[in-house]
Structure 1
Amino acid sequence: MNLPQTFKDKMQTLLQDEYDAFIRSYEEEKNQGLRINTLKISIDEFLQINPFTTEKIPWVKEGYFYPNNERPGKHPYHEAGLYYIQEPSAMAVGELVDPKPGEYILDLCAAPGGKTTHLASKMNGEGLLVSNEIHPQRAKILSQNVERMGIKNAIVTNETPERLATRFPSFFDRILVDAPCSGEGMFRKDEEARLHWSPDNVTLCANRQDDILEYAQSMLKPGGRLVYSTCTFSPEENEGTISRFLEKYPQFEIEQVEVYEGFSQGRADWVENTASNIEQTIRIWPHLVKGEGHYIAVLKKKDGDEAPRIKYPKQKLDPKMMKAYQDFAGETLNIMPFGYFLAFNDQLYGLPEEVPTLEKLKVLRPGLHLGTFKKNRFEPSHALALALRKDEAKSVSNLSADSDEIISYLKGEVLQASGPKGWHLITVDGYSIGWGKLAGNMMKNHYPKGLRWMGN
């Protein structure tokens, strides 16, 4: 692999006796991982239907390695949101954020969504998850992944950290800052990261990280947990960033957390003016574990003022719109999802009770998208289908993962079917994947056009 010479010289200085083993790791294949989405399926249930060759990832109970010659991203279970394909080392971050059901959580730099969907699975639909991404196109991908995983209690925003900080002072129980970085830890899997690397970019990233952490700390309530992570080896962006932050904000301290076998400690000797206990931060090296490079620091806010939480003023909705939704729910569902609704033009969303005001924020997804009003009728969204369990719908049409019918469905084709007319929840081996609408013996396909499989 063609690595920048300046990078190799730097790593040889830092690693010394470990350098040869580190460089040899670049001759090995990258490790692939998937994380089971426990919002939709338990670990045991997945392992009973698991079509892949998997090996347990030691540091995350839902995580499994899979071999490079298998393609779980091209399987119907992926479209049903039964798992998320995620780099194995990155899974350690969600474990260390460790959100609890009912808490208020912020993922500040959340795209494409691997860590956000991990946090959501731990919250089990309770509490509030704000997933933010500053870049519009990446925010759309984030929103799509939140939808695919059937997450009900997430808000997806496309904002700057500065604007969020003015809206949410001392608001969150836990905040994840998976900071933009020079990407050295991804060199084995990402050629773009190698091509764009330079010492100047390392410095630029470190300065940006200082700014992001400054806004993040103001949104954390006293006693809360702030987790900082990068996918780079650079001490300037890791121990250096944390040391600068702790010098400026002494109300924070490094928390000691479990270090899994093969993980390393932060290095006090790699930066000047090192914070005390920097050894309690975590480094993940590709020559020591089956994963790419990562750095994680877990910080606790010891004191400060907690701001009062102001909930969203409930919106008065058009009675005709609500009647159309209630008629749909009565005919189609065994549940009435959400008692708190928000309408954006003709779109209806179900919101967590904890949601704050979203006025004047760029919001891509203000909760679970329930559907669209069309001429006094309600058409359910794909997001609602993915958030439902099979027993929550009155009519269910189940397709086998290894059948021709599921492939036809994912291509958007009409299916032959029987049963009561109207909306059917389409499932793959019992897990929701989309909607169909039955008339006669023809199931009209409502799988979204932008997601349909192409080709043979």
Structure 2
Amino acid sequence: MNLPQKYLDTMKDMLGDEFDAYLDSFNDSRYYGLRVNTLKITPEEFLRISPFELKPIPWIENGFYFSENDKPAKHPYYYAGLYYIQEPSAMTPANVLPVNEDDAILDMCAAPGGKSTELGAKLNHTGMLVTNDISNSRAKALLKNIEVFGIPNVLVMSEDPKKLVSYYPEFFDKIMIDAPCSGEGMFRKDNKLIKSWEKNGPEFYHEIQKGVLLAASKMLKPGGIMQYSTCTFSKLEDEESIRYILNECPELKLIDVKPYEGFSHGYEDDGQERDMQMSKTVRIWPHRMAGEGHFVALIKKDGSDGASVIPSSPSRGLKIPKELQEFLDEITYPVDTADISIRDERVFILPKQAGNTAGLRVMRTGLLLGEIKKNRFEPSQALAMVLRKDQYVSAVDLKSDDENVIRYLKGETIQIDPESCGVVRQSGWQLVCVDGYPLGWGKLANGTLKNKYLAGWRMM
């Protein structure tokens, strides 16, 4: 690997006697990880059904290493949203950010969704997650991952973080900033990033980071906590970006990141004008821990927690059409009809804290329940992923090794034996499951299941 000399000189200055050990880590094998979706299954339950060779990631309660020989992205459990595939050190930021039920949380630079999916799982169907990425194409992947994970209480946006400030002044209990960075921690994983580093290095990203941090500070409510992380080793992008925001906003203070053996402290202030206690931040180095590398800091705003002032809300509490009510009578998932909003025949359940987002590029507001079409209601793929098997009146439950599971995920019509699949009613809508975990919808008639799996999600 042809590492830039400027980068090598900087790393040698930072690491001193550990520099050779760091260089040797480039010869090690990559680490592969998955994080269990605790909205759907506990880590203990997942271990009982997992077909993979798994080892716990010691500092991530629901994280596991898997073997390079395993292919978890091809397994039906992946399509059921039972886990997210993620580099182990990248699991750390969302793991250390303390989340309480009913929190309003913003993930500012969220795509493809590794941190947001964990934050949404921690909220456990409460509060609200606003997950944003300025890139529209990346935000589409973010939306899919949010929906696969079964997170209903969400606003998915594709907006410049600076524009959000006027909509959410001092609104959020928690803010996640996994900042755009030069990606030095990913060189071993993807050496194409070296070319990108040579084109846009730490100085370029430091300026972006300052803007993102300043916007976040204005949206964090008193008593709130924001988390800043990068997958780079640059002091300029890590400690210096933190130093910038602490100097700009004296009401912000660093708090300790939950310690774990192997974490390295951030670099101290080196005699700067005030002690900012950079040792409260942490670094993950690939020669010290089984991960690629990360920097993580937690920052708290002075003041006491108070209720977030919710912006004026969009229309909700509408009269429920007959066809929608008939479907709602068939599910036991809790739906407050006062939170239902209907736009262009599409039916949504809005988060309690959702306000007026007019003027923002919003890709999803709350949970898409489905669509009203010619006096009938068609449930959405997103709703299927939120439900449990026992929350719909009838389900087709297939075994993970049944060839019909793959055929269903490929969008094919399948023949089933209703009795062996646990079907309650012999015709109409069915919640299609694998080993009891929902995958999507189908419509049953005379043993033929018409496939309603979302076309854009199909297995290739």
> Do both proteins adopt the same fold according to a TM-score greater than 0.5, normalized to the shorter chain?
yes
Aligned-pair CA distance for 1:73? 0.7
Pair 1:189–1:275, CA change in 2 (3 A): farther
Find the aligned partners of 1:433 and 1:69 in 2 and give their Cα distance.
25
Pair 1:306–1:169, CA change in 2 (3 A): farther
2:332 is aligned to: 334
Find the aligned partners of 1:127 and 1:316 in 2 and give their Cα distance.
17
1:356 is aligned to: 355
Aligned-pair CA distance for 1:316? 5.4
What letter is aligned with 2:121? Answer: S
Aligned-pair CA distance for 1:398? 0.5
1:415 is aligned to: 414
Question: 1:112 aligns to what SS in structure 2?
Answer: coil
Q: Conserved in 1, the CA contact under 8 Å of 2:313 and 2:354?
A: no
Calculate the TM-score normalised by the size of structure 1. 0.95
Pair 1:180–1:439, CA change in 2 (3 A): same
Find the aligned partners of 1:271 and 1:361 in 2 and give their Cα distance.
43
Q: Conserved in 2, the CA contact under 8 Å of 1:220 and 1:226?
A: yes
Pair 1:255–1:272, CA change in 2 (3 A): same
Residue 315, structure 1, aligned to residue 321, structure 2: no
Tell me the alpha carbon deviations over residues 333-385 of structure 1, each in whole angstroms, 9 at most, x when there is no partner: 23453421122312111112121222221110101111112112111110000
1:159 is aligned to: 159
Tell me the alpha carbon deviations over residues 384-410 of structure 1, each in whole angstroms, 9 at most, x when there is no partner: 001000110110100111111101111
1:79 is aligned to: 79
Aligned-pair CA distance for 1:14? 1.5
Tell me the alpha carbon deviations over residues 134-189 of structure 1, each in whole angstroms, 9 at most, x when there is no partner: 11001111000000000011110111111101110010111111110000011111
Percent sequence identity is 44
Identify which of 409, 414, 432 aligns with 2:438.
432
Superposed counterparts of 1:57-456, under 5 Å:
57-198=57-198, 201-268=201-268, 275-303=275-303, 309-313=309-313, 315=315, 319=319, 322-330=321-329, 332-335=330-333, 337-339=335-337, 340-417=339-416, 418=418, 419-454=425-460
What letter is aligned with 1:425? Answer: L
What letter is aligned with 1:293? Answer: G
Find the aligned partners of 2:275 and 2:207 in 1 and give their Cα distance.
18
Q: Aligned Cα RMSD in Å? A: 1.9
Question: 2:151 aligns to what SS in structure 1?
Answer: coil
Q: Conserved in 2, the CA contact under 8 Å of 1:181 and 1:231?
A: yes
2:41 is aligned to: 41
Calculate the TM-score normalised by the size of structure 2. 0.94
Pair 1:191–1:87, CA change in 2 (3 A): same
What letter is aligned with 1:79? Answer: Y
Aligned-pair CA distance for 1:195? 1.5
Question: 1:324 aligns to what SS in structure 2?
Answer: helix
What letter is aligned with 1:236? Answer: L
Query: Greater shift after overlay, 209-218 or 445-454?
Result: 445-454
Gap regions ≥5 residues in structure 2: 419-424
Tell me the alpha carbon deviations over residues 244-290 of structure 1, each in whole angstroms, 9 at most, x when there is no partner: 11111111111023211111000126796675211111101011000
Equivalent pairs, count? 452
